[in-house]
Amino acid sequence: RRQPAPRLLPAGFLRARRGLPTVIGLRGLASAAFAGAEVVIPLILSRERGFSPTAAGLVLTVGAVSWSVGSWLQGRLQAPRSAATLPRIGLSCIAAGTATVALAVLPAVPVPFAVLGWATAGLGMGVLYPSLSVLTLALSAPEEQGRNSSSLQLGDSLFAATVLALTGAVLAAGTAPGPGSYAATLAVAAGCGLLGVLLAGRVVLPRSA
């Protein structure tokens, strides 16, 4: 008798069921938002603002540094009363940060404003990622922790790959990418972050009567 194939993602993942399925979904949405913005920023800065590749890369480095700062802060903050607090804070930073970066397509908006937005998004990732890893372990039985940690990584890669493919399709449409296509892709990234904010409360399991 053939054994059923093991689940790669937990049941209820697509419906954002409370608990672990939502935790894994939030990780994917955050990864999609950050990766979707990260690939567009160098194009905006080089094509629309005249930055050299080196200067555009340094802007991306700001996000990496703030990510580290966010992780450092998350490890030193007092544990909040609700498990949803840190994910909601992290995703709010990601959504606000990527939306701010989108303003860089407007010539009247100073570049430092967009850099601040990217730093905010990185800070949010630093706060979010460790908190979701802790939640994954807390919501898993000891014998399921390895499998569920793998599901967390899979959800991360799946969402990011999907948004990157969509971003590539949008940028490839037409003769050349421009402010409209940049804004559209960043709107998708910010939308992923906002959806995560709305779903963050579902990481908490309902109390049994």
pLDDT band for position 5 (cuts 50, 70, 90):
very low
Residue 208: its pLDDT value, please?
43
User: What DSSP element (H or E) covers 197?
Assistant: helix 179-199
Q: Per-residue pLDDT averaged across 104-124, rounded?
A: 93
Class of domain 20-202: mainly alpha
Q: Per-residue pLDDT averaged across 188-209, rounded?
A: 85
Q: Per-residue pLDDT averaged across 138-145, rounded?
A: 88
Task: Look at residue 191 and tell me whether its pLDDT is greater than 90.
Answer: yes
| Measured distance between the N- and C-terminal CA atoms of the chain, rounded to whole angstroms | 40
pLDDT band for position 178 (cuts 50, 70, 90):
confident
DSSP for residue 16 = T
Length, in residues, of the chain: 209
Pairwise CA distance, residues 50 & 55, whole Å:
10
Task: Look at residue 79 and tell me whether its pLDDT is greater than 80.
Answer: no
Percent of the chain with pLDDT over 90: 58
Residue 52: its pLDDT value, please?
92
